[in-house]
Amino acid sequence: MTQARSPKPLQGPRLVRFLSDLAVADGEVSHKDFAERLGRLIALPDSIALSMVHARLSTMTSEPMPEAGVAVSSESVMADFLRVRTTLVETIVDSFTPGAGASWLSFPRVTASTPAEEMASYKRYQMFYVNQQREIALRINKLRADVRLTVSGRSARLARLVVLDTGLDEALSAPAQNLFAEVPRLLGKRFEDLYQRHQETIVDRETDDDRQLWSQPGGWLAQFAGEMQGSLLAELEARLQPVLGLMEALKEEGESA
């Protein structure tokens, strides 16, 4: 096994680091004043709702929620998580492989029949990314609900964790969606930058712009496709973190029993 390198200072989630590396996200991620910055994301009605969640936690009994799926094993929960994650990863990868994925989830290609006005337009690539985001969100939301049901039936501590997780999810759902919606906009800046560089190269070389080569290895659109795929995989990782946290709590509960 390769010897692990000394850890570097934490630079934020993989998605943020990825966008920063593409020079489309501004600023360096910092954990200073985290609570204050988090508070600015939560509107007053959501703050009141979180306060009510906190009050409910203090009145919960020492028994797990009776309606939860107590019989489901930790191994089964992990297997479901891995299955959903693998399916989503494969869906993303296949969407960039011509003919491998569903047509409505396939990365747009430049062909001889592509209208001239669409060839260098980011609009259809943005729509592709948004469709991928919706598919990812739908599957992860269902997975998170299933995991909550299992976790809440294990112990009073985990039942309280599920109540807290649900409250935070409801309070941060809108801000999170707004932040994820920024990703395709930022990628649009990268798309335009790569296309501009390509145009400058064509002028410098005094050659014709063969659009059929855009998606070939070394082409600017092929590079963008690889970067967009990397962004989707990083976003998937970020969206799965709350579910992973619930499962880690479930595992710890089993180890301490």
pLDDT surpassing 90 at residue 116: no
What is the tally of structural domains in the chain? 1
DSSP character at residue 67: T
Of the ranges 62-66, 121-125, 179-183, the best mean pLDDT one: 121-125
Q: How confident is the model at residue 240 (pLDDT cuts 50, 70, 90)?
A: very high
Q: Is 146 exposed, middle or buried (0-12, 13-18, 19+ CB in 10 A)?
A: middle
- pLDDT digit string, tens, across residues 35-53: 444 445 445 454 445 455 5
The mean pLDDT of 108-114, rounded to a whole number, is 83
Assigned domain for 125 exists: yes
Between CA 204 and CA 175 the distance in angstroms is: 44
- What pLDDT score was predicted for residue 133? 96
b or e along 7-22 (b: 16 or more beta carbons within 10 Å of the residue's beta carbon)? eeeeeeebbbebbbeb
Residue 228 scores a pLDDT above 90: yes
The DSSP-derived string for 100-152 is TS-GGGSPP---TTS-HHHHT-SHHHHHHHHHHHHHHHHHHHHHHHHHHHHHT
Dihedral of the alpha carbons of 67, 254, 236, 142, in degrees to the nearest 10? -10
Structural domain boundaries enclosing 222: 46-57+68-252
Instruction: Answer whether residue 76 is part of any domain.
Output: yes
- Pair 190, 24: CB distance under 8 Å: yes
Q: What number is the average pLDDT over the span 158-186?
A: 86
**At which residue do the structure tokens 């690539």 appear?**
125
Residue 224 resides in a domain: yes
Tell me the per-residue pLDDT of 196-215, one tens digit each, with 9 for 90 and over: 999 999 888 888 888 888 99
Assess if residue 22 is contained within a domain. no
Is the residue at 15 inside a domain?
Answer: no
**Considering the domain boundaries, does residue 17 fall inside one?**
no
Question: What mean pLDDT do residues 108-118 have?
Answer: 82
Task: State the average pLDDT for the chain.
Answer: 79
Does a structural domain hold residue 7? no
Quote the pLDDT of residue 239. Answer: 92
What is the pTM for the complete model shown?
0.78
Q: What whole-number percentage of the chain has pLDDT above 90?
A: 38
Structure confidence at residue 29 (pLDDT) = 44
Query: Considering the domain boundaries, does residue 36 fall inside one?
Result: no
Whether residue 85 is predicted with pLDDT greater than 70 in this model: the reply is: yes
